[in-house]
């Protein structure tokens, strides 16, 4: 059974992004072994830009959850990243995680063979920029991004009101099942 990690990057508990992740999780649960990880429950410190990782091939920050999170990613076949759009980019919670992936820079191709999926949630605009940021680290490390979906929602209970959101999530589930 292939392994999937879902990295949920909205700070809003039970918000649109978290519910989208649960919906997709339920859709693929029989076929994948899934870990749904809410970043708001994890302690991931901000990259300090010290670049010690370039010399010692490891991050100078060791007293947080990043290393265990990264090992879950390395164990997974599929990486699904989901986040709302905040000012045309992922929220700081997700960006802090992405910045920390800089620490594995000397280990090129460490995500080769893994497939990425991206879910962005926004009220009106900024999907494309946010998607590019979220795809960047996966592609940099040799993974491929298979499918991206855009969900439209503003208030915390908006997600399920738009039938096009449901069909976009169903399409993603179908694509994921083909990978599995």
Task: Give whichever of 40 and 70 is closer to ligand FMN, judged by the CB atom.
Answer: 40
Q: Measured from the CB of residue 36, what is the shortest distance to ligand FMN in angstroms?
A: 14
Residue nearest to ligand FMN (CB): 15
By residue count, the chain amounts to 180
The least CB distance from residue 171 to ligand FMN, in Å, is 19
**Residue 142 Ramachandran class (φ > 0 left, ψ -120 to 50 alpha, else beta):** left
Q: Which is nearer to ligand FMN, 49 or 125 (CB)?
A: 125
Treating both helix axes as pointing N-terminal to C-terminal, what angle do 127-140 and 92-100 enclose, rounded to 10 degrees? 20
CA-based diameter of the chain, in Å?
A: 50
Q: Is 61 helix (H, G, I), strand (E, B) or coil?
A: coil
Residue 84 CB, shortest distance to ligand FMN, in Å, is 3
Of the pair 94, 111, the CB lying nearest ligand FMN is at 94
Cα distance between residue 151 and residue 66, in whole Å: 28
User: Which residue, 61 or 169, has its beta carbon nearer to ligand FMN?
Assistant: 169
Q: Which is nearer to ligand FMN, 58 or 126 (CB)?
A: 126
Least CB distance from residue 67 to ligand FMN, whole Å? 26
Bridge partners of 119? Answer: 82, 149
Smallest distance from ligand FMN to CB 77, Å: 25
CA angle 103, 51, 61 (to 5 degrees): 60
Residues lying near ligand FMN in the complex (CB under 6 A): 10, 12, 15-17, 84-88, 121-126, 153-154, 156
Q: Please give the helix or strand (H or E) that residue 38 lies within, else none.
A: strand 32-38
């Amino acid at each position: 059974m292939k392994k999937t990690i879902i990295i949920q990057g909205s700070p809003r508990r039970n918000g649109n992004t978290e519910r989208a992740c649960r919906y997709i999780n339920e859709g693929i649960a029989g076929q994948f072994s899934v870990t749904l990880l809410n970043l708001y429950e994890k302690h991931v410190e901000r990259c300090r830009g010290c670049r010690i990782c370039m010399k010692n091939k490891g991050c100078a920050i060791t007293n947080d959850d990043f290393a265990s999170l990264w090992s879950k990613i390395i164990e997974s076949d599929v990486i699904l990243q989901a986040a709302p759009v905040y000012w045309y980019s992922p929220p700081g919670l997700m960006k802090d995680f992405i910045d920390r992936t800089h620490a594995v820079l000397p280990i090129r191709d460490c995500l080769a063979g893994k497939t990425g999926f991206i879910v962005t949630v926004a009220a009106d605009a900024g999907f494309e920029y946010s998607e590019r940021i979220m795809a960047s680290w996966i592609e940099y490390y040799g993974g491929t991004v298979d499918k991206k979906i855009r969900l439209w929602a503003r208030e915390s209970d908006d997600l399920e009101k738009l039938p096009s959101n449901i069909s976009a999530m169903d399409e993603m589930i179908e694509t994921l099942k083909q990978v599995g």
